[in-house]
Structure 1
Amino acid sequence: MTLSVTFLGTSGAVPTTERNPSSVFVRRNGDAFLFDAGEATQRQMMRFNTGFDVSDVFVTHGHGDHVFGLPGLVHTWDFNDRTDPLTIHVPRGLGAGVEDLVFSVGGDVGYPVRVSEVSAGETVLDFPEFEVRAFTTDHRTASVGYALVEDDRKGRFDRDRAEELGVPVGPKFSKLHDGQPVELDDGTVVRPEQVVGDPRPGRKLVYTGDTRPHDAVVSAAEDADLLIHDATFANDASERAAETGHSTAGEAADVASRAGARALALTHVSSRYAGDAREISEGASGFGGDAFVAHDGLEYEVPFPDDE
């Protein structure tokens, strides 16, 4: 069951020749989402072959390096005769501004586009098997982060035990795994708990957008399988990070450690580290899990917790 991330843009506010402004593409099986859409996001999608079948865009805040890619993307979809609806989720109070941005030049498009305002603590998207939740972040403007959280999975089916109990191979296996008892030919009833283990956790993917370290991010990222966190600056620029509403690599690592996250992607890298992000990487050395500096085009497959 696929849950993959493609980093389309990993720069700070100023792009570089190696890094585009912020955007992350996420695919979960047949569903595709964008988290933020900086300038030229559509070109990055073509460059890294993500596909264009996005149903929802989740915007963390209204700064240009996170939204200036929306007009081109929305109108390109129109040129390509898109008919499927699109929902753009934005922090509360930003809806009118995003609508103006998208439609001020080029007019309406030939498919439904809805801009939906969201608040921290809200379930933004509720699909079978997973949901996307908004949480509080701390930036210089109205902002939220987003967590994609999968439902628990079924426990493991113990085929050997089922056969020992006399369950014939076939449909009764599926019934038991689905939580239904089955009756054998001799009248014996086998219950699911006899052959199915405890439910297993699904995966959690958390994206902060731009933020200072915050307890709400720690809570949202609890036991995350991948935390994508603002790491605009190296640790020696902590004052600058605080002034601008961003985090250092060390602060991101501390959030990930407190949350018990399994992996940490450091992103929104300032242009001052163009071409060499070793200071960012080294700054997160205190995190005990898998920490890495994301780069444009990097693909990451989010593992299940019990794959370790």
Structure 2
Amino acid sequence: MMPKMLTVTFLGTAGSLPTPERNPSAVLINREGELILFDCGEGTQRQMMRAKTGMMNLDYIFITHLHADHILGIPGLLETMAFQGRREPVTIAGPARTAEVVELFDRLCYYSRRLQVRVLELEAGDVVRMEGYEVKAVRTSHSVPSLGYCLREDPRPGRFLRDRAVALGITPGPLFGRLQRGERVEVEGRIVMPEEVMGPARPGRKVVYTGDTRPVPEIEEASREADLLIHDGSLSDGMADWAIETMHSTAGEAADLAKRAGARMLVLTHISSRYSDDVSTLLFDARRRYPEVLVAEDLMKIDLKLRDR
């Protein structure tokens, strides 16, 4: 059986100002061919083309906050999808005033599209359920109303313990499948429960994306044992005062949070243009606290594998 795919593509990794190497904020998750976009800076649709991610299976766009560098790609992306024949609705979810912004785009633009857009305004703690996973809104701390997001897959059943099943008198065949589906079966007058022949439940994957934020306890809690934490790492530790004033995070602060949370990997994004030629300072500040750190680059991809525990 092929392993289930979950690929994270960094479409835009710039701070407030784009650079020749970095587009404004956008992160795409491909889970089994289903696309989920987090933030949509200008030019996101072109970045999707460059990354060859496709876009027709994009059903949800989750916006962290309504600063221009996180939303101005929405009209172009919707129009491009419509030109390519998309007819199914697209849902845009975000903090307070997201509906107002989407309405303003509709009033300002002469769209040629016939594409329905649904809007969800979320608060911290709200959950959007999909098949096999959920996206939960998490409180963040920025200069405007903002949210982070935690994508978490449902737990998977434990491994089927074949030898134990045979020892209980179960003949290989349809009864194996019933037990694996969580059904109890009867063998020679005895009821065998699924938990007797199944190992412990295995975790699904977890990805946390903060958007722009100071490090906050809610993000730390959401990131417990996350497979991937994508955190604001706009500035070096030497600019901590400016990070506080602008309500961003330093690389070291993000690494400290990742370490406390037990995240398996940290990727720093929303990189200030002052580091456009050299991110070594950010890496140094982060890795002296927590080794599993990367600085995001545009079009970088990370494949997250399933794990047994």
Q: Which residue of 1 aligns with 2:108?
A: 104
In the other structure, the counterpart of 1:85 is: 89
Give CA deviations for 1:52-86 in whole Å, capped at 9, x if unaligned: 12100000001111011111111111222210100
Of residues 154, 161, 164, the one that matches 2:164 is 161
Distance 1:286 1:214 in 2: 21
Who is 1:227 aligned against? 229
**1:22 equivalent in alignment to 2:13:** no
Deviation at 1:103, TM superposition (A): 4.5
Q: Does 1:300 align with 2:276?
A: no
Deviation, structure 1 residue 283: 1.2
Query: How far does residue 94 in structure 1 lie from its aligned partner after superposition?
Result: 3.1
1:291 aligns with 2:284: no
1: CA distance between counterparts of 2:135 and 2:84?
A: 28
Tell me the secondary structure at the aligned position of residue 149 of structure 1. Answer: strand
Query: Could you say what secondary structure the match of 1:284 adopts?
Result: helix
**Does the 8 Å CA contact 1:75/1:106 hold for their aligned counterparts?**
no
Number of the residue aligned with 1:60 = 64
Match in the other structure for 2:143? 140
Q: How far apart are residue 183 of structure 1 and its match? A: 2.2
Listed as ranges, the matches of 1:6-21 within 5 Å are 6-21=9-24
Unmatched segments (≥5 aa) in structure 2: none
AA matched with 2:62: F
Which consecutive unaligned segments of at least 5 residues does structure 1 have? none
Contact in 2 for aligned 1:225/1:305 (Cα 8 Å) = no
Describe how 1:115-130 pairs up with structure 2 within 5 A. Answer: 115-123=119-127, 125-130=128-133
1:165 Cα deviation after fit: 2.4
Per the TM alignment, residue 49 of structure 1 is displaced from its structure 2 partner at its CA by 0.4
Q: Identify the range of structure 1 (74-83 vs 20-29) with the bigger mean alpha-carbon deviation.
A: 74-83
Question: One-letter code of the match for 2:213?
Answer: T
Aligned residues: 305
2:283 is matched with 281
User: Which amino acid in the other structure matches residue 98 of structure 1?
Assistant: V
Sort the Cα spacing of 1:271 and 1:300 in 2 relative to 1 into closer, same or farther, 3 A. same
Change in CA separation of 1:231 and 1:157 when aligned onto 2, cut-off 3 Å: same
Report the identity percentage: 47
Equivalent-residue separation in structure 1 for 2:108 and 2:85 (angstroms):
20
Q: Secondary structure at the match of 1:34?
A: strand
What is the TM-score when the length of structure 2 is the normalising length?
0.94
Q: CA deviation at 1:179?
A: 1.8
* Paired position in structure 2 for 1:3: 6
Contact 1:211 1:247 in 2 (8 A): yes
CA RMSD of aligned residues (A): 1.5
1:244-294 C-alpha deviation (Å, 9 max, x unpaired) = 111000000111112111110110101100121111111111444521111
Q: Distance in 2 between matches of 1:258 and 1:32?
A: 30
> Is 1:206–1:226's contact at 8 Å kept on the other side of the alignment?
yes
Paired letter, 2:67: H
> Would the alpha carbon gap of residues 254 and 102 (structure 1) be closer, same or farther in structure 2, given more than 3 Å must change?
farther
Shift of residue 137 of structure 1? 0.5
What is the rounded CA distance, in whole Å, between the counterparts of 2:144 and 2:68 in structure 1? 12
Identify which of 74, 81, 84 aligns with 2:78: 74
Task: Tell me, in whole angstroms, the C-alpha distance in 1 between the residues paired with 2:181 and 2:288.
Answer: 43
1:191 is displaced (CA, Å) by 2.3
Conserved 8 A contact 1:152-1:200: yes
When normalised by structure 1's length, the TM-score is 0.95
Alpha-carbon contact 2:142-2:248 (below 8 Å) kept: yes
Match of 1:191 in 2: 193
Deviations 1:185-228, CA, capped at 9 Å, x for gaps = x3343322221012111111100000011111111212211110
* Pairing 1:272–2:282 present: no
The amino acid that maps onto 1:202 is G
Q: Which amino acid aligns with 1:40?
A: G
